[in-house]
Amino acid sequence: MNNRIKNFLTTNEMIVVYIIIGLAILIGSVNPAFNSISTVVNLSRTMLVTLIFAMCEMIVIVSGGIDVSFPAIACLAMIATGNIMLKNHIDSVPVAFIMGALIGASLGTLNAVLIAIVKMPSLIATLGVSSMTSGATLAIFGAKIITNLPGKLDKLYKVSLFSYTNADGITYSLTILILIPILICLLGWLLLKFTMFGRGIHAVGGDIRAARIAGFNVKGILFFVYILSGTMAGIAGVTYMILMRAADPSVLMGSEMMVIAAVVMGGTRITGGHGTVIGTILGVTLIALVKNNLIMLGVPAHFQTFVVGLIMIIGTSITSLKAKHVANSVKV
């Protein structure tokens, strides 16, 4: 039993928890303003879209692949939805999300075909799709940013779960959009842990040949994973648009590095088969914490990319070395 507690305390998740706690104490001691509700509100705002991305990336990596096309897909979903709704005078929140999801799903299908049927390496396939998507997005819709979103989408931004006014009279409100990533995490957890399909995703990531022998529909599983990833990217794009009250055709490009780093830091093995929802949430939290508070720690803005890069390389090294250690350790 002692052993179990020890094992629990040294899991990847717990290590990330320690780092987060340590960082929080450090930031809090340098800048007492950190210790307030506003930090939580700001943090959840930063995490919101990243978490949706991270969830789809985690599921893809568990299945043994990688997806770098989600920022492009999200951008297309965002700008296309915004444009179509404005042009046709549609003003409905569900329509926006459904449209975003459909756009994402169709590009996800393209990824799936390339990876499951043409058997392309997933990095190259999704890189190609990413290039096509972002090129098409800019060629069709131009580089113009839309800021006059339909009224109902704009209104949704102002709906909050709760608001809090601090002593200085500044109000912080937690947007209702946070429910989207929470729901996705919950559903993702149920899917991965308690459905045969979710276990199938693990099985494919663990040993694709054995999965075939065991009778899993490997192609079906891969299709599902990439379509799911595309759909979620589409939803993330629409969410981002509402959150930022603008649709920008290239704003999310380049965020894939950060998302992959967050996922790997959360204990997901880049080689596939291992990954948890909790770990992913923690990884995203860590990255968001760093991104939001470097300035509080006195790190100049132009140092941020470097610091994040450093954390990425250390974090991924630790998790990769840990996986290697498991592979070499004494077996029972």
Partner 1 sequence: MTETFLELKDIYKSFGGVQALKGVDLTIRSGEIHCLAGENGSGKSTLIKVISGAHDPSQGEIYIEGSKVSRFSPIQAIEHGIQVIYQDFAIFPNLTVAENIAMNRAVSTGAKIMDWNCAKKLALEAMEQIGARMDPDILVENLSVANRQMVAICRTIINDAKLLILDEPTAALTSKEVQKLYTILRCLRDKKIAVMIVDHKLGEVFEIADRLTILRNGEKISTGLIQEYDRKRFVKDLTGRDISESTYIPSTSDDEVFRVENLSRKGAFENISFTIKKGDVLGITGLLDSGRGQIGDALFGIHPAQSGEIFLHGKPIKIRSTTDAVKNRIAYVPEDRLTQGLFLDRSIQDNTIAASIKKYFIRGRLDERIMFKETQEWIKKIGCVAPSPDPAIRTLSGGNAQKIVIAKWLNTKPALLILNGPTVGVDIGAKYDIHRMLHQLAEQGIGIIVISDDLPELIQNCNSIIIMKNGRIAGTVESSTINETELAEMLSSQ
Partner 2 sequence: MQKLINIFKKTDRIALALLVCSIGITIIMGVSHPKFLGKSNLQGMLIQIPEYGILAFGMMIAMIAGGIDLSLVGIANLSGIVAAVVMRNLNGTDFSIFPAILAALMVGCLCGLFNGWIIGYLEIPAMLVTLCGLQLYTGIALMITKGPAITGLPESFSNIANGTFAGIPIGALVFVLITLVLCYLLYATVYGKCVYLMGTNTIASRFSGINNLKITMLTYAISGIFGSLAGILMASHYNSAKSDYGTSYTLLTLLIAVLGGVNPNGGRGRVQGVVMSIILLQLVSSSFNILRVNAFVKTFAWGLILLLIMTATYLIERRQSRD
Binding site for partner 2 (CB under 8 A): 66, 114, 118-121, 123-125, 127-139, 254, 257-258, 260-261, 264, 270-271, 300, 302-310, 312-313, 316-317, 320-321, 324
Q: Does 198 bind partner 1 (CB under 8 A)?
A: yes
What's the closest the beta carbon of residue 202 comes to partner 1, in angstroms? 6
Contact 165, 106 (CB under 8 A): no
Give the whole-angstrom CA distance, residue 61 versus residue 242. Answer: 28
Nearer to partner 1, 192 or 242 (CB): 192
Nearer to partner 2, 220 or 309 (CB): 309
Give the whole-angstrom CA distance, residue 131 versus residue 270. Answer: 23
Nearer to partner 2, 118 or 196 (CB): 118
Contact 228, 188 (CB under 8 A): no
Task: Return the one option of partner 2, partner 1, none that residue 37 interacts with (CB less than 5 to 8 A, by type).
Answer: none
Task: Return the one option of partner 2, partner 1, none that residue 22 interacts with (CB less than 5 to 8 A, by type).
Answer: none
Q: Which of 93, 21, 86, 51 is nearest to 259 (CA)?
A: 51
Give the whole-angstrom CA distance, residue 235 versus residue 252. Answer: 13
Residues recorded for the chain: 332
Give the whole-angstrom CA distance, residue 10 versus residue 17. Answer: 10
What's the closest the beta carbon of residue 3 comes to partner 1, in angstroms? 11
Task: Return the one option of partner 2, partner 1, none that residue 199 interacts with (CB less than 5 to 8 A, by type).
Answer: partner 1
Contacts of 37 (CB under 8 A, 6+ apart): 164, 166, 172
Q: Does 1 bind partner 1 (CB under 8 A)?
A: no
What's the closest the beta carbon of residue 285 comes to partner 2, in angstroms? 19
Residue of 139, 167, 301, 327 that binds partner 1 (CB under 8 A): 327
Structure tokens of 234?
A: 């589409």
**Containing H/E element for 173?**
strand 171-175
What's the closest the beta carbon of residue 282 comes to partner 1, in angstroms? 20
Q: Does 326 bind partner 1 (CB under 8 A)?
A: yes
Q: x/- binding map, residues 273-302, to partner 1, per CB under 8 A? A: xx----------------------------
Give the whole-angstrom CA distance, residue 202 versus residue 223. Answer: 14
Contact 52, 319 (CB under 8 A): no
Distance from the Cα of residue 107 to its chain's centroid = 17
Binding positions for partner 1, rule: CB under 8 A: 193-200, 202-203, 205-207, 209-211, 213-216, 272-274, 326-327, 329, 331-332
